[in-house]
Structure 1
C-alpha cells in the first residue's frame, strides 16, 4: 500500500511539473518555440522520466510474473514469437529503395521493414484464426 501512495505522489509531482512546463511553452509563443526550441527541454525531461518509470515497472512486473509462473510456457511462447520473426526475415526482400524525401533506404533496412510487415501479417492471421477457432468451439459445445 505504501508503494501505491508513493506512486500517486510521484505522478502528481510529474503532472504539476508537466503543466508548469506547458504553461511556459505557451507563454513564450509559437514563433519563439519553433524558432529556438526554447522551453521544450523541461517538457521533454518530464516525458523521459515518466517513460523511464513506466519501463522499469513494466520490466519488474513482467520478470516477476515470468519467474512466479510457469516458465516453460513462457519460454515456448517467446520461442514461437522468435520463430515467426525469423521466418518473416527469411521471407522479406532486401531491395534498397528511394524514400519520399529523397533519401535511400538500405537493403538491410528494407529487409527489416519487410520482416516487420510479414511478422504483422502472420500474427494477425494467427490471432484471427484463434478467435474463429474459439468461437466455433464455443458454438459446438
Structure 2
C-alpha cells in the first residue's frame, strides 16, 4: 500500500467521524445549544476539532519540510522565496515611521506598535504592487506572443 492510499483512507475516516459529529450537533438543535443544555457536548466537539486541526497542521508542516529537504531544487526555490519575503519585510520596517498615536478609546499606541502597523501596511502595498505588476507583465507578454 502506498502513502497516497493510506492518506486517502485516513481522510475518509476523518470525514466520516466529522459527519457523525455534525449530525450529533444538528440533532441537538440550535435552541438547546443557545440555552446551554448541551454546552458540554459542543465544548467536547470543539476540543476534538482543535486536536484534529493541530494534528493536521503538524502533519502538513512535517511533510512540507520533508519534501523541501529531500529535493535540492525545491529547497533552493523555497529559500529564495523566504529570503525575498524577509527583504521586503525589512524594507517595509525601515520605511515605517514610529510615532505615538492617540486612539479613539483614549489609549495611546506606542511608537513601536505604530512602527509595526506602518511596516505591515508598507509590506502590503509593496506586495500588492509586485503582484499587480507580475500579472500585468505576464498578460502583456502573452498578448505580444
Match of 1:69 in 2: 72
Q: TM-score, normalised by structure 2?
A: 0.69
Q: TM-score, normalised by structure 1?
A: 0.71
How far has the Cα of 1:105 moved from its partner? Answer: 7.7
CA RMSD of aligned residues (A): 3.0
Q: 1:131 aligns with which of 110, 132, 135?
A: 135
- CA 4–65 in structure 1, closer or farther in 2 if over 3 Å, else same: closer
Unaligned runs of 5+ in 2: none
Structure-to-structure mapping, 1:78-117, within 5 angstroms: 78-94=82-98, 95-96=100-101, 98=103, 106-107=109-110, 108-117=112-121
Q: Distance in 1 between matches of 2:31 and 2:78?
A: 51
1:92 touches 1:114 (CA, 8 Å); kept in 2? yes
Report the number of matched residues: 139
Q: Which moved more, 1:105-114 or 1:4-13?
A: 105-114
1:89 touches 1:115 (CA, 8 Å); kept in 2? yes
- CA 27–139 in structure 1, closer or farther in 2 if over 3 Å, else same: closer
- The list of structure 1 runs, each at least 4 consecutive aligned residues, that deviate by more than 6 angstroms after superposition, is none
Q: Which moved more, 1:8-17 or 1:90-99?
A: 90-99
